[in-house]
């Protein structure tokens, strides 16, 4: 079942005398429980696509439906309410509040939703255990590592059980071990909770954790890869090869 449907999606910037078209009539569907990677060269439109799908930015044309609800015409107040209940976000730079502890940062979405203290504590323990950060719950962001910060950010995205989680280069500021730790956790949560994750990444190693990878070129979908029963190592090689074709490299069979 599709959780997200985008049709003839367009996004342009500037005015009619100097218009830059970034997304050009793009069609996309995402099924519930998928872990989807979005890749493309710098300037291809992948980050713009994520921002438009996640309601951070408004589309210039086309339609976006999440959980059957049309997003593009939604008024700001209703959109904020929908975002609060149905969407989760993981950003490259963590976006944690330095004056709050790890636990307080993670609990923010539940505080906004008005959850009871007991419910909040139960959900916090579950997600913090799953992401391996329960033991740093009383520390502040400046007292923990980059990997722990990003897992805190992920816990905050998951805790209110949103319909879909958008991740923008979540491993971009991490070393390779912290990155693989985070991606393993996201992959486990995707499987265990059937959480739908849409992740923009430039890193083929990160993309190899996904169940499907969409390649964007010049504001349109260039190609897609499905992992299926492939091993992560084999899928990684397929991603590298597709990246090469995307960049104009042709392989001999």
pLDDT tens string 120-158: 999 999 999 999 999 999 999 999 999 999 999 999 999
Residue 121 tokens, joined: 């504590």
Cβ atoms of 4 and 164 closer than 8 Å: yes
Q: Tell me, what DSSP letter sits at residue 139?
A: S
Please tell me the distance from the alpha carbon of residue 64 to that of residue 109, in angstroms, as a whole number: 23
Q: Three-state DSSP class for 122?
A: helix
On the question of pLDDT at 251 being above 70, the answer is no
Q: What's the CATH architecture for 2-96+160-230? A: 3-Layer(aba) Sandwich (3.40)
pLDDT band per the 50, 70, 90 thresholds, residue 253: very low
Q: Tell me the residue ranges of DSSP E strands in 149-190.
A: 164-168
* Distance from C-alpha of 103 to C-alpha of 112, rounded to nearest angstrom: 15
Give the model confidence (pLDDT) of 15-58 as tens digits: 878 888 999 999 999 999 999 999 999 889 999 999 999 999 99
Question: Over 50: is that where the pLDDT of 252 sits?
Answer: no
- How much is the pLDDT for 224? 97
Report which DSSP code applies to 143: G
Q: Three-state DSSP class for 247?
A: coil
> Which of 149, 144, 145, 185 is CA-nearest to residue 165?
185
Q: What's the burial of 91, exposed, middle or buried (CB within 10 Å: 0-12/13-18/19+)? A: middle
Domain ranges of the chain: 2-96+160-230
**Which has the closest alpha carbon to 205: 248, 228, 171, 230?**
171
pLDDT tens digits, 74-124: 999 999 999 989 999 998 889 999 999 999 999 999 988 888 999 999 999
Which residues neighbour 44 within 8 Å (Cβ) at sequence distance 6 or greater? 216, 217, 218, 219
- The separation between the first and the last C-alpha atoms of the chain, rounded to the nearest angstrom, is 36
């Amino acid at each position: 079942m599709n959780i997200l449907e985008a049709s003839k999606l367009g996004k342009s910037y500037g005015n009619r005398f100097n218009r830059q078209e970034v997304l050009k009539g793009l069609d996309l569907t995402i099924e519930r429980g998928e872990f989807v990677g979005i890749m493309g060269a710098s300037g291809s439109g992948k980050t713009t696509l994520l921002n438009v799908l996640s309601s951070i930015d408004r589309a210039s044309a086309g339609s976006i439906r999440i959980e059957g609800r049309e997003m593009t015409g939604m008024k700001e107040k209703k959109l904020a309410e929908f975002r609060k209940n149905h969407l989760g976000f993981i950003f490259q730079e963590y976006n944690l509040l330095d004056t709050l502890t790890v636990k307080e940062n993670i609990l923010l979405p539940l505080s906004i939703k008005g959850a009871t203290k007991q419910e909040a504590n139960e959900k916090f323990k579950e997600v913090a255990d799953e992401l391996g950060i329960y033991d740093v719950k009383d520390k502040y962001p400046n007292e923990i590592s980059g990997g722990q910060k990003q897992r805190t950010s992920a816990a905050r995205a998951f805790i209110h059980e949103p319909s879909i989680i958008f991740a923008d280069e979540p491993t971009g500021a991490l070393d390779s071990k912290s990155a693989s730790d985070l991606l393993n956790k996201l992959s486990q949560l995707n499987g265990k909770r059937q959480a739908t994750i849409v992740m923009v990444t430039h890193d083929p190693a990160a993309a190899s954790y996904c169940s499907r990878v969409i390649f964007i070129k010049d504001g349109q979908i260039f190609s897609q890869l499905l992992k299926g029963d492939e091993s992560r190592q084999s899928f990684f090689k397929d991603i590298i090869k597709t990246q090469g074709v995307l960049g104009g490299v042709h392989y001999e069979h």
